[in-house]
Amino acid sequence: MRLERAELRRLDLPLRTPFRTSLGLELRRDILLVRVVTSEGEGWGECVALPEPGYSEEYLDGAAEVIRRFLLPAVAVLDDLTPARVASALACIPGNPMAKATVEMALMDAWLRARGVSFADYLGGVRGEVECGVSVGIADSIGDLLAEVAGYVDEGYRRFKLKVEPGWDVEPVRAVRERFGDVVLQVDANAAYTLGHARLLAELDNFDLVMLEQPLPTADLRDHAALARRLRTPICLDESITSARSAVDAIALGACAIVNIKAGRVGGYLEARRIHDVCAAHGIPVWCGGMLETGLGQAANLALAALPGFTLPADIAPSRRYFSEDVTPMITMGDGLIAVPRGPGLGLDPEPEIMERFTTDVATLTEF
């Protein structure tokens, strides 16, 4: 397979509910989609980078530039492209995992569509549906939080994840636990604490949380190990796990008992699968994280979450959780479950009319 043309498309999708985390408040989702046209057909990739650095170093304009100037040219020289050759063609460029994952996803989609194989079958998925959790942003008050969570309980989610930060942690968690009884509850700090908060974080042990996700900064693996020794609540790493290599290191250090896997954060779906594999070999449960993707990104995430080691509910939600309209047919949840797409490639097609309506910019590349 050869890359012939590419299109970088930016979309501006309003969020139905504001999403506040320790990284900031988002009212819209600025999206970058990459459409590749290859010798064997077309494919779509979605870049999960946010408009500004914060979650990680990458940001959307930077990722778009890296994709256009460095990544697409590096794969365009190959005339025997396969999904597995994408990452090796890009390995000489350090970092930029979200940009790399976008290119891999688009070429994998093209390659699999041409062969009539789904992402899930290609990756080794064994599940027909995925358990959905909901990620709940920081609210303006405990009352607002309880009202928002009540809505999600009624919608049937299988698990509730509260975003926490210093000043919004023990009390909101206590309030949700008291109000909603034995729901499956976990928290995510997006690196907002330090080891000096260990005593405070230990108070969360009172609430039977399934996990505490990424309490400390990305590079602080030894501090996560030290914190883990002081808590009963299992620690899950998100931002800190950037490759299968770093997953093995974190596990060996005792820095995490659970791993959140996001293909964008680790450079692609094949590296994501390797993390799944090494975690399974060490008895570490994994689950599929999310970045408020459109239906295209969520389709790929559903395929990944279908692998056998993904034993905890995913940050995968029906389209309506975030968007009034999605760029694919709306993904729906029934009984807290979403079906894994089974059609060729991503198994979902963009809706051209909706796509056009939300598009803010298109760059077409015909030579690299």
CA distance 187 to 136: 9
Least Cβ distance, residue 28 to ligand NPQ (angstroms) = 9
The β-bridge relationship of strands 41-47 and 24-38 is antiparallel
Contact yes or no for 55/23 (Cβ under 8 A): yes
Taking the least distance from each CB to ligand NPQ, the nearer of 110 and 338 is 338
**Catalytic one among 113, 262, 276, 321?**
262
The residues, ordered by sequence, that sit 6+ positions from 252 with a Cβ below 8 Å of its Cβ are: none
Q: Which residue has the tokens 């979403």?
A: 338
For ligand NPQ, the binding residues in 69-108 under the rule CB under 6 A are none
Q: Is 292 in the site for ligand NPQ (CB under 6 A)?
A: yes
CB-based contact 293:262 (threshold 8 Å): no
Nearer to Mg ion, 237 or 346 (CB): 237
Task: Check residue 226 for interaction with ligand NPQ (CB under 6 A).
Answer: no
Q: Is 42 exposed, middle or buried (0-12, 13-18, 19+ CB in 10 A)?
A: middle
Q: Name the one range near Mg ion by CB under 5 A: 30-38, 206-214, 272-280, 293-301.
A: 206-214
* Nearby residues of 266 by Cβ (< 8 Å), 6 or more positions away: 97, 101, 241, 242, 243, 244, 272, 275
> Does 55 sit near ligand NPQ (CB under 6 A)?
yes
> 107 is written with which tokens?
């070429």
Residues 6+ apart with CB under 8 A from 56: 98, 218, 239, 265
> Residue 336 carries which DSSP code?
T
Binding Mg ion by CB under 5 A: which of 131, 169, 223, 238?
A: 238
Q: Distance between CA atoms of 313 and 206, rounded to whole angstroms? A: 22
Under a CB-based contact definition with an 8 Å cutoff, are residues 113 and 41 in contact? yes
Smallest separation (angstroms) from Mg ion to the CB of 26: 14
Q: Pick one of Mg ion, ligand NPQ, none as the site partner of residue 271 (Cβ within 5 to 8 A by kind).
A: none
Interaction between residue 52 and ligand NPQ (CB under 6 A): no
- Taking the C-alpha atoms of residue 71 and residue 96, their distance in angstroms, rounded to an integer, is 10
Decide if 100 is catalytic: no
217 binds ligand NPQ (CB under 6 A): no
- Residue closest to Mg ion, measured at CB: 238
Distances (CA, A) of 176 to 162, 180, 183, 207, 283: 9, 6, 9, 10, 30
Residue 298 binds which entry of ligand NPQ, Mg ion, none, CB below 5-8 Å type-dependent: none
Q: Binder to ligand NPQ among 9, 13, 19, 244 (CB under 6 A)?
A: 19
Q: What pairs with residue 159 in β-bridges?
A: 133
> What, of ligand NPQ, Mg ion, none, does residue 26 touch, CB below 5 to 8 Å by kind?
ligand NPQ
Q: How many residues bind to ligand NPQ according to rule CB under 6 A? A: 16
Show the binding pattern over residues 169-198: x = contacts ligand NPQ (CB under 6 A), - = does not.
-------------------x-x--------
Q: Between 186 and 205, how does the x/- string for binding to Mg ion read (CB under 5 A)? A: --x-----------------
Nearer to Mg ion, 96 or 186 (CB): 186
291, 300, 314, 355: which one binds ligand NPQ (CB under 6 A): 291
Q: Which residues bind ligand NPQ (CB under 6 A)?
A: 19, 21, 23, 26, 29, 50, 55, 135, 188, 190, 238, 289-292, 315
Name the residues annotated as catalytic: 163, 262
